[in-house]
Amino acid sequence: MPHLDPELLNALAMAGVAIGALSLLLSVLAQVRLRRLRRTLAELRGGGRGSSHGPHAEVGALRRVAVVRYDAFGDMGGRLSFSAALLDDAGDGLVLTSINGRTETRTYAKGIAAGRGEQKLSPEEQEAISAAMRGARRSAGTRRHV
């Protein structure tokens, strides 16, 4: 067996100890991070500490939905424009409006709180909100503008 330099053996031993210590540190950090992620996941699922209902109590399901289709312009047919209300049981949510013309389409999103628009609403948007609040799943309004 060849003779190994004691300094080389000492350096290899120190490197092994350093690698082992680094591995141990990284393992501990990974465990801490995993614990935090599990805690966050539990809170998102509604089982977190300090909250009897979790964040789901603050987030309503968009269960009141209605769509009103219409012709935005007199020279257009097919009711390609629409306003869609997406609301929770409290009447909070949004209304999406898409106005389709021959050369362009414009889309708007407006916030809704307690069934009322945070901005001025068009008659079609208000109709969609009213239909959603009544619980209608879909409204096939046939408004025509000239």
> Tens digits of per-residue pLDDT, 78-126?
888 999 999 999 999 999 999 988 888 899 999 999 999 989 999 999 9
Q: Which residue range is the domain that position 78 belongs to?
A: 64-144
53: left (phi > 0), else alpha (psi -120 to 50), else beta? alpha
Asked if 68 and 131 sit in the same domain, the reply is yes
Mark whether 52 and 70 lie in a shared domain: no
- CA 104, CA 85: separation in Å to the nearest integer? 22
pLDDT on residue 144: 39
* 107 and 139 together in one domain: yes
53-71: per-residue pLDDT in tens? 454 455 568 889 999 999 8
Give the chain's radius of gyration (CA, Å): 31
Query: According to DSSP H, which parts of 1-146 are helical?
Result: 6-44, 123-134
Task: Give the whole-angstrom CA distance, residue 41 versus residue 62.
Answer: 22
Q: What is the pLDDT of residue 136?
A: 56
Same domain? 78 vs 14: no
Q: What is the pTM of this model?
A: 0.54
The alpha carbon of 106 is separated from its chain's Cα centroid by a whole number of angstroms, namely 23
Q: Residue 117: inside a domain, yes or no?
A: yes
The total domain count for the chain is 2
pLDDT score for 121: 95
Token pair recorded at residue 100: 């389709």
Query: Which pairs with CB-CB distance under 8 Å and at least 24 residues apart come from 68-71?
Result: 68/124, 68/127, 68/128, 68/131, 68/139, 68/140, 68/141, 68/143, 69/140, 69/141, 69/142, 70/124, 70/141, 70/142, 70/143, 70/144, 70/145, 71/143, 71/144, 71/145
The answer to whether the CB of 63 falls within 8 A of the CB of 90 is no
